[in-house]
Structure 1
Amino acid sequence: MVRAPWPVSSLLSLLGSYPEVMLAIACFFVLRLLNQKVQNSKLPLSWPVVGMLPYLITQTHRIHDWCTEILRESGYTFRFQGPWFAGGEVVITCDPANVNHVFNVNFANYPKGEDFGDIFDILGNGIFNADAESWKNQRRMAHSLINHAGFRAFVARASRDKVSRALLPLLQGVAARNGVVDLQEVFMRFTFDSTCSLIFGSDPGSLSPDFPRAPFALAMDDAEEVILTRHIMPKMWWVILRWVGLGTERKFAMAWETIDRSVAEYVSRKREAIASQRHSPGSPKVDDGEEGTDLLTSYLRNQAEAGKRDADFDKFLRDTTLNLMIAGRDTTSSGLAWFFWLVSTNPDVEAKLLEELHGHLSEAAASDPDALVVFDPVELNKMVYLHAALCESLRLYPPVPFERKNPVKAEVLPSGIKVYEWTRVVFSLYAMGRMEGIWGKDYAEFRPERWISEKGKVKYEPSYKFLSFNAGPRTCLGKDVAFTQMKAVAAAMIYNFQFEVVQGHHVAPKVSIILHMENGLKVRVKRRRTAAAALS
């Protein structure tokens, strides 16, 4: 006997009598739909109330690679929906057209703003946080000092001296005992000492064989980690933590105290030194001419000529020197660490660098194969392949992996996405270097040749495509200083030593506003006798 099918009305009546059955069926279809979408796309889904925050939390440990994946999937621009209650709408992009528009074409619509200042409050009213006339005045003053011929000469001399007196002897000691060293730690200490010398005129000597503790440097590290947390965490959460003095914000407050104390000590000592010179005619005098001097001395002398000193100027000195310290120390050390990792894992590039270095070797250095060689700044500026290799490293591993902006007025970006006054626009420099549409099919390769023209000269790439030194009116003032230091370090280290990454050592980006390595860069150091022997 064949049973007649149930009428639709009877079926609906039965389901209506059992709400839990209806709920189960609804959940089944919703979950199946979500699962299908997740399988077909790497893009996160926006959930009610919490938005895409759960996805962000699960990917925080690999935030830069995750951003790269979703930007590649979405066509270079993606709207991230944060929690409804936290105003968390973010537009993430690596589209060069958007970069050019925001950093150049419509620069006035994207100031740093209050939100940026709140997150980076430790920088005070320094050049990184400043807007409008304050920013223009600070940049004008910094530009005149940093681009002064005397200061450029001072940078070149100080970099060469630090390499010959501290860096190379340290590595020679490690090589002599066939030891292992963390190159990232070495570079952090080198740039900390160098930047202190350039800004404050004082070398703290942290690059010593025993690696002495440097509270100022450690406090800067702690502050940077918390600032990255502030970017990810909804603002009201970290504001509450700051108010009650708990968690990461307690750590931040302690770092802030150490930083203020350290800067104040440097400024006080410099004032005493200048006063001592003024009252002691026979004492050695710091020259502002061809030899140059540190930036703090220049700022203090400019202020003395104006005949005025007040609390506002003391605050200005604190904010300015701290901004320059963070810019000078962290970016250069990060760039060097990733450069040496890439060179050590690409022997063909290393061989070409050695060939170029050998071609610019002085007769004095060539006559003594056992001597530790330091290259002259004039010769370093002639090395096209070295410059290209550094640019290629910065393309793949930009020291500042992201930038953020907030529009004053709503508008539509060139990519077609609309941004509002409450939208945070985040630019992923890390992702930009990993897009085939921007750099070609070989985007993932470490290939310095892409930076060399057919005539053998360094090839220019527009800053909105190569954003490592920012773009537009806020282009980094210390770009040339950074290249001077990196070239001095890279040339001397590659010519004199060979570096082999310790087997099994895992290299990955650290979650921070600066692209440091999570586990450092552990290498075994071996002495090279001559470039010619290495090439053979």
Structure 2
Amino acid sequence: MEISSASSLLLLISFLCSAFFLFFKQHSPRSAPANLAALKSYPVVGNLPHLVKNSHRILEWTTDLIPTSPTGTVTVAPFVFTANPANVEHVSKVRFANYPKSEPIILAIRDCLGRGVATTNGEEWRLQRKAASHEFGTRSLRTFIHEKVCHELLARLVPLLTRASRSDEVIDLQDVLERFAFDNTCSLAFDEDTMCLGGEGGEEGKRFFHAFEEATRLCVERAKQPFPLVWRIKKWLHVGSERRLQEAMEIVHGFVDRCMRSRGDRPSSGQDLLSRFTADGANSDEFVHDNLISFVLAGRDTTPAALTWFFWILSSRPHVSVKIREETKQIRTRQPEENGGKLAFTMEELREINYLHAAISESLRLYPPVPMVPRDCLEEDELPDGHRMRRGWILMYNAYAMGRREAIWGSDCREFRPERWLDEEGVFQPKSSSVFPVFHTGPRTCLGKDMAYIQMKVVAASILERFDMAVYAIVTFKCDRM
């Protein structure tokens, strides 16, 4: 099963772009610290050959390396990989200002995402984060999100899966969920129906979807260049992948600009992010434009990837599906069926679905959509476990490896066991974000966490209530009506 494109963006940029650049950027030829002993260091190039050799499997390679260290941290200069919760807490909260987002990453994706909250640091980031978090923290937005998810689910996703079930069709579930998430995310962002999952018309929305996908892929290709100068020259010459990236971004920017211009000319609920960001005129057009694009990228990619892994896990664990159905059935009995059929779950019902919440969290623990997070080190520092960080190095905390550490989750850490998230009464108990950094931690904690859980619980509960799914290939599924 493929890692999501947002995850690929982070991993490929960090290793194939920054490794070369940062290694030769070191300010002095001082001897390597003791914690480099686990890997052979070569003359002049140091640990760089290890990074190049394993660039195609960085996640698996570093996850295998980390257990060789008693502290859960391994240095492969100029990178430090950690699965130590104390280190995650340190870089994400205690020394937050010393560990900003990686500048090489920001430069590589800025043409796509602009100067939104996802591509800024320092005071610029703080101001944008404050404005965005105010809107994401409102109860009315969560209600609006729930309404949009339920509408898209009942109007498009369930009918699509029903047709597939009746015709005995095998479907690519990840593609279906990506289109569902894109439609839903655009509804939340612009109050626009892009109709990527079906519907009459929708040509503009589908062009937007494909252009967004193309732009993300081309940013990954841009990041594969060993030196930023390569893609910058191609951009200046307007050739090859840089020309295609610019063409894709013209479609993306054009769609967002059109939505912004037409906001006052068409009816709107006033609850979408565009309406919220422009309500009092306090935010600049650039702020609104760039943060809407960042929101679409986050909503389009991570949630469908998480749900795909979730259904893949459940396909080999029917007893978990049975428990989820038993739980949702009990909750359903408290509400009468309307219009002769079962509707999507209400917000009140979602709050009572503890086992499903635990199962989704357990899936995220083992298969986080963004498995590694890079942070630059501005000034030399010592991590809580004793590892040294030099100025200009990159620390990467590995959420994928953390989910597989016995020191954190116990001897059964590689098993899928939702019960680890429940108390004796079966009520969901959240974990510290330092040991479960799937939605990040500290000031950069994901603003869309609540939204993501609402989407995942509505979709998962509604699909499992109606269908059985069997894995036919890596990401293709067959739906059978229950």
| Residue of 38, 43, 47 corresponding to 2:42 | 47
Tell me, in whole angstroms, the C-alpha distance in 2 between the residues paired with 1:110 and 1:268.
38
Q: 1:214–1:417: structure 2 CA closer, same or farther, 3 Å change rule?
A: same
- Asked if 1:140 corresponds to 2:130, the answer is yes
Tell me, in whole angstroms, the C-alpha distance in 2 between the residues paired with 1:46 and 1:270.
58
SS at match of 1:500: strand
Residue deviations 1:147-185 (CA, integer Å, cap 9, x gap) = 222222111111111111111111000001111111101
Q: Which residue is equivalent to 1:526?
A: 480
Percent of aligned positions that are identical? 36
Tell me, in whole angstroms, the C-alpha distance in 2 between the residues paired with 1:246 and 1:77.
42
| Residue of 289, 300, 306 corresponding to 2:278 | 300
Task: Give aligned pairs, total.
Answer: 442
Q: 1:318–1:366: structure 2 CA closer, same or farther, 3 Å change rule?
A: closer
Tell me, in whole angstroms, the C-alpha distance in 2 between the residues paired with 1:74 and 1:94.
10
2:196/2:209 contact within 8 Å kept: no
Q: CA deviation at 1:133?
A: 2.6
Of 147-156 and 188-197, the range deviating more from structure 2: 147-156
Q: 1:406–1:241: structure 2 CA closer, same or farther, 3 Å change rule?
A: same
Q: CA deviation at 1:189?
A: 0.6
What code does the residue aligned with 1:374 have? A
Q: CA deviation at 1:287?
A: 5.3
Q: CA deviation at 1:488?
A: 0.7
Tell me, in whole angstroms, the C-alpha distance in 1 between the residues paired with 2:131 and 2:338.
45
Tell me, in whole angstroms, the C-alpha distance in 1 between the residues paired with 2:237 and 2:453.
43
| Residue of 209, 216, 222 corresponding to 1:224 | 216
Q: Which residue is equivalent to 2:75?
A: 79
Q: 1:362–1:374: structure 2 CA closer, same or farther, 3 Å change rule?
A: farther
Q: CA deviation at 1:205?
A: 0.7
Tell me, in whole angstroms, the C-alpha distance in 2 between the residues paired with 1:264 and 1:295.
14
2:183/2:196 contact within 8 Å kept: yes
Q: Which residue is equivalent to 2:58?
A: 63
1:126/1:319 contact within 8 Å kept: yes
1:377/1:488 contact within 8 Å kept: no
Q: Which residue is equivalent to 2:158?
A: 168
> TM-score, normalized by length of structure 1?
0.76
What code does the residue aligned with 1:73 have? T
Q: CA deviation at 1:421?
A: 2.0
Alignment gaps of 5+ in structure 1: 1-40, 82-88, 274-284, 307-311, 507-520, 529-536
Q: 1:43–1:418: structure 2 CA closer, same or farther, 3 Å change rule?
A: closer
1:372/1:496 contact within 8 Å kept: no
Alignment gaps of 5+ in structure 2: 1-35
2:102/2:374 contact within 8 Å kept: no
Q: 1:398–1:150: structure 2 CA closer, same or farther, 3 Å change rule?
A: same
What code does the residue aligned with 1:217 have? F
Query: Which of 1 and 2 has higher RCO (CA within 8 Å, sep 6+)?
Result: 2
Q: Which residue is equivalent to 1:328?
A: 299
Q: CA deviation at 1:455?
A: 3.2
Q: Any residues of structure 2 matched to 1:508-523 within 5 Å, and which? A: 521-523=475-477
SS at match of 1:163: helix
Q: Which residue is equivalent to 2:368?
A: 398
What code does the residue aligned with 1:70 have? L
Q: Which residue is equivalent to 1:202?
A: 192
Tell me, in whole angstroms, the C-alpha distance in 1 between the residues paired with 2:265 and 2:308.
37
SS at match of 1:208: coil
Q: Which residue is equivalent to 1:413?
A: 383
Residue deviations 1:345-385 (CA, integer Å, cap 9, x gap) = 211211111111111114666699x9454222211110110
Q: Which residue is equivalent to 1:98?
A: 87
Q: Any residues of structure 2 matched to 1:350-369 within 5 Å, and which? A: 350-362=321-333
Residue deviations 1:390-409 (CA, integer Å, cap 9, x gap) = 11111111111211111221
Tell me, in whole angstroms, the C-alpha distance in 2 between the residues paired with 1:149 and 1:166.
26
Q: Which residue is equivalent to 1:316?
A: 287
Tell me, in whole angstroms, the C-alpha distance in 2 between the residues paired with 1:126 and 1:328.
15
SS at match of 1:91: strand
| Residue of 158, 166, 184 corresponding to 2:148 | 158
Tell me, in whole angstroms, the C-alpha distance in 2 between the residues paired with 1:97 and 1:227.
33
1:365/1:373 contact within 8 Å kept: no
- Asked if 1:477 corresponds to 2:447, the answer is yes
Tell me, in whole angstroms, the C-alpha distance in 1 between the residues paired with 2:59 and 2:471.
23
Structure with the greater alpha carbon radius of gyration: 1
Q: Any residues of structure 2 matched to 1:361-400 within 5 Å, and which? A: 361-362=332-333, 371=341, 373-400=343-370
> TM-score, normalized by length of structure 2?
0.84
Q: 1:63–1:156: structure 2 CA closer, same or farther, 3 Å change rule?
A: same
| Residue of 255, 258, 269 corresponding to 1:262 | 255
Q: CA deviation at 1:268?
A: 2.3
